[in-house]
Amino acid sequence: MAKIEDFKNNVSSAWCPGCSNFSILTAVKNAFVKLDIRPQDIVIVSGIGQAGKLPHYINCNVFNGLHGRTLPVATAIKAVNPKLTVIAVAGDGDMYGEGGNHLLHAFRRNPDITVIVHNNGVYALTKGQASPTTELGIKTKLQFDGVIEEPMNPLVLAIAMNCSFVARGFAGDLDFLSELITLGIRYKGFSLIDIIQPCLTFGVHQVPWYKDKVYRLTKEYNPNDRDAAFKKAGENKEKIPTGILYVNNKPIFPDIDYNLEQKPVLDKAVLKELLKTFE
Amino acid sequence: MYKKSVIICGQAGQGIQTVCFILAKAIVRSGYYVFAWQDFQSRIRGGETSSRLILSDEPVKSLPDKYDILVSLDKTNTDIYMPLIKQDGIVLAEDETDRNIINIPLKKIAMEIGENKIYANAAAIGAVWAVIGLPIEKVENVLRQEFTKKSENIANRNIIVAKHSYKWIEENCINCRQKIETKNGSAKMVLTGNEAVALGAIAADCRFMAAYPMTPSTGIITYLSETSHKTGILTEQAEDEIAAINMAIGASYAGVRSLTATSGGGFSLMVEGLSLAAMTETPIVIVLGQRPGPATGLPTRTEQGDLNFALNAAHGEFPRFIFAPSNPVEAFNLMIKAFEVSQKYRVPAIVLTDQYLADSYWTVDNFDIDSIKLNDYFSKPENINGEFKKYMLTDNGISPRLKPGESGNLVIDDSDEHDQYGHMTENDIIRKLMVEKRWKKYCSMIEEMRVVVPNNIYDSDIVLVSWGSNYGITLESTKMLTAKGIKTTIINFSEIWPLKVPIVLLNKEKKFKIVVVENNFNGQFAGLLEEKGVVVDYKILKYNGLPFTEDEITRIITEKYGKD
């Protein structure tokens, strides 16, 4: 059985003390324990920003690539070696801004990977500019008259694109978040878990503010109902639902296991046969 | 040497390339060599399209200024291409004017015999074949083989139309009909540069390719995709070139050889990923099929304008390989080499092609399959002592490499500067060591590069220096110039970077003139040679989107260096 200690390493953290990223880190480890996966069978792909540092703090395989580019890397790793559990970790700027096109097409392509988005509505590592999910009117050093662009709702977008698994978590609700990540990893297909992760330093709202608004979806909610899912995903003012908003079964990429990493080198006879077709 | 040159022209959508392909295949099956270049516009219907095809009893890899035969499916195109035909050349076209044209009713034959004007291209095939003077059966066999894939009926109609126009020439144009004999010999292949590149990738054990379609390199992923059921290679059309290169990097991290291909505009998007491959020391091969830029440029034409870009692309300093095959055999071999050295040194390898190499049909006697030897550059998990250091500092800069999931050793990669384990660091001492580690490889990398210097170079008046696909053309010009009394030899660079300059080019006592031939405005390769101390006497540069011709280079050299 996997233990939480299996996933600990001695890399020192560069996150702010008390950051809700630590809860996400614990939730991810909890999910690994729950799913009983070995560190060697996990690859976490991350981008740039504070979220991108997460895999360094977990004892597992890591590919910390470029800002916005987690999904193509993670998709290919999973395609080459489907035995690996592949997770992409990114912030809202990384996944919804820089990597937006990859996200759109990951919904379509549907690789069996799980995406964890630390959504704090701010570019924290670059010291507080607006992100694609910052609310209208919020003033920052750069948007000094307030944000005039409408915030993006990634969950509505995901449902519109028939994403396999769409969930919202809250970094202030560790148990439920651990459960959502566990279910997201287990779900066959592309799983998007958007996590409300208030930023201590630059955030507009802090954990207590969210605690009053956030609630867990109950068993009565049917995530197979697409219309209901749109409605729930749009709910983000007075009350904010967390849980699995939408699930959908569809073919994954690649369509078959190509056994790419294991199979022997191609027989030269096949190459010779191909050459014959040019005669 | 027997040689016949043909232009097939018409509007896009009239099947000009099909005529060219069928003729090329039939020529090779008749025992001759063929070379055919595609001159087309970036459109789907209409406009001006031509294929330039050379038949010879010796290997051909270049184009002349003037052609023997023109077959045209469109009046406007006839007018455009007529000036490229020799005085005693033959023009086959529907033409009522009193010009010196064989007025063959191609469309009428198509309508009457094939019952659809679309078969006018089959009529063109039959007519050209009759003028070339080879037996119709060879064409018939190729048509049957190629069109039966569509339907028996389509194959039959193509054949009867081609036969009818063949007969029309026999009956109506006795003078224009030549007769040559079919030759026996071992089977040869007809293929494009792109197909050779793709076959090289297969031979190199490439298992994953992602790309976004872009002329002139789309043919590579197309071929790998259509043969994937036989080879087991996974291909994926990415949403953009950024995704394509990052997918290739992900696949390589996971443990397989991976490839992407694009042209200049797409490569611009890949540049960030190129830097990622360098920093994470992830081997990848990138094919950069050049076309004229900047920006969209001339999408379907040829140029060698991206050499300096390939060499300097991406932020930060890191070593890389650049190859530029001159023909399909080199494309095949250099793809294997690119994969091997990329794996060995864990650096990106860029293979530069261009539209001239990528889209042309070339004749290849054979690829040397049996002597291909691939090496496994992964380390054995059981040989790793202690915690695995993906970026272990070593004497030659090459660290052990493992696949994630293969063993208890964890594989950690970071685009940030990292320590030996792969975790990010901002330590100045480690940073310095890591920069030096990446560059340590360079000394061995340069030893991998090969340049062929001809034995008789000191006897020559002129040394033509070319790189990549111009080799076929400079080679032909060399023969023509030497025949004219200007002793010319050639050094062609197909293995470009790290640049190995032959000592002979640096010799201050040398008597010969060094003339560099390139398809770009600035003489980019000449510039690289000059940086290394080579005194370049003259540059022949072309940047109108068209390839050089053998006559063009011969004429320029003769005018400049010819003895009166």
Which residue of A64, A104, A261 is in closest CB contact with B416?
A: A64
Inter-chain residue contact A40 with B369, CB threshold 8 Å = no
The answer to whether the bond into B294 is cis (omega within 30° of 0) is yes
Same fold, B3-172 and B457-561: no
Rounded CA separation A177/A171 (Å):
7
The structure tokens listed for B484 are: 């004219």
Rounded CA separation A61/A83 (Å):
13
Instruction: Give strand pairing partners of A42.
Output: A85
Rounded CA separation B15/B24 (Å):
14
pLDDT above 90 for B299: yes
Instruction: Give strand pairing partners of B70.
Output: B7, B91
| Set of chain B residues whose Cβ sits within 8 Å of the Cβ of A279 | 28-29, 187-189
Q: How many CB atoms lie within 10 A of CB A126?
A: 12
A160: contact with B, CB 8 A cutoff? no
Residue of A nearest to B236 (CA): A254
CATH 3.40.50.920 assigned to domain B457-561? The reply is: yes
Domain that includes residue A199, residue range:
4-276
To the nearest whole Å, the CA of A52 is away from the closest chain B CA by 10
Burial of B225 (0-12, 13-18, 19+ CB in 10 A): middle
Q: How many domains does chain A have?
A: 1
Backbone angles phi, psi at B230, to 5 degrees: -85, -35
Closest CA to A125 of A18, A201, A11, A25: A201
Residue of A nearest to B250 (CA): A73
- Residues of A (52-81) whose Cβ lies below 8 Å from B: 53, 56, 59-66, 69, 71-77, 79-81
pLDDT above 60 for B244: yes
Inter-chain residue contact B191 with A63, CB threshold 8 Å = no
Which residue of A48, A56, A84 is in closest CB contact with B423?
A: A56
Rounded CA separation B119/B64 (Å):
29
The owner of tokens 């690996």 is: A84
For domain B191-364, the CATH class is alpha beta
| Set of chain B residues whose Cβ sits within 8 Å of the Cβ of A113 | none
The owner of tokens 């699995």 is: A244
Residue B97, pLDDT score: 84
Residue B461, pLDDT score: 96
Pairing of strands B321-323, B348-354: parallel
pLDDT above 80 for B290: yes
pLDDT-derived band at B564 (thresholds 50, 70, 90) equals low
Closest CA to B237 of A109, A168, A77: A109
Residue B238, pLDDT score: 98
* Helices of type H across B369-470: 428-447
E strand or H helix at B533: none
* Adjacency order of strands within the sheet including A165-170: A214-216, A240-247, A165-170, A191-196, A114-119, A85-91, A42-46, A61-64, B412-414
To the nearest whole Å, the CA of B195 is away from the closest chain A CA by 10
| Set of chain B residues whose Cβ sits within 8 Å of the Cβ of A58 | none
Q: What is the pTM of this model?
A: 0.97
Inter-chain residue contact B230 with A270, CB threshold 8 Å = yes
Which residue of B239, B369, B374 is in closest CB contact with A271?
A: B369
Residue B43, pLDDT score: 86
Task: Tell me the Ramachandran region of residue B330: left when phi exceeds 0, alpha when psi lies from -120 to 50, beta otherwise.
Answer: alpha
Q: pLDDT tens digits for B329-347?
A: 999 999 999 999 999 999 9
Which residue of B230, B231, B255 is in closest CB contact with A80?
A: B255
Inter-chain residue contact B407 with A64, CB threshold 8 Å = no
A256: contact with B, CB 8 A cutoff? no
Inter-chain residue contact B251 with A258, CB threshold 8 Å = no
A102: contact with B, CB 8 A cutoff? yes
Rounded CA separation B17/A276 (Å):
22
* Helices of type H across B392-544: 428-447, 471-483, 524-531
Closest CA to B70 of B57, B79, B58: B79
Q: What integer best gives the mean pLDDT of chain B?
A: 96
pLDDT above 90 for B264: yes
* B285 and B339 Cβ atoms separated by less than 8 Å: yes
Terminal-to-terminal C-alpha distance of chain B: 27
Which residues of chain A fall below pLDDT 70? none
Residue B223, pLDDT score: 98
pLDDT-derived band at B133 (thresholds 50, 70, 90) equals very high
A214-227 as b/e: b if 16+ CB within 10 A: beebeeeeebeeee
Q: CATH number of the domain at A170, please.
A: 3.40.50.970
Show Cβ contacts of residue B312 under 8 Å, excluding neighbours closer than 6 positions.
none
A148: contact with B, CB 8 A cutoff? no
Among B88-102, B313-327, B368-382, B430-444, name the one with the lowest average pLDDT: B88-102
The type of residue at B93 is: A
pLDDT-derived band at B185 (thresholds 50, 70, 90) equals confident
| Set of chain B residues whose Cβ sits within 8 Å of the Cβ of A64 | 413-416, 424
| Set of chain A residues whose Cβ sits within 8 Å of the Cβ of B273 | 66, 69
B77-116 as b/e: b if 16+ CB within 10 A: bbeebbebbeeebbbbbbbeeeeebbbbebeebbbebbee
Cα–Cα distances (Å) from B512 to B472, B506, B509, in that order, read: 21, 12, 9
Inter-chain residue contact B205 with A72, CB threshold 8 Å = no
pLDDT above 90 for B563: no
The type of residue at B16 is: I
CATH code of the domain occupying B3-172: 3.40.920.10
For chain B, the structural domain boundaries read: 3-172, 191-364, 378-448, 457-561
Residue B179, pLDDT score: 86
Residue A168, pLDDT score: 98
Inter-chain residue contact B249 with A76, CB threshold 8 Å = yes
Rounded CA separation B60/B47 (Å):
29
Show Cβ contacts of residue B88 under 8 Å, excluding neighbours closer than 6 positions.
none
A89: contact with B, CB 8 A cutoff? no
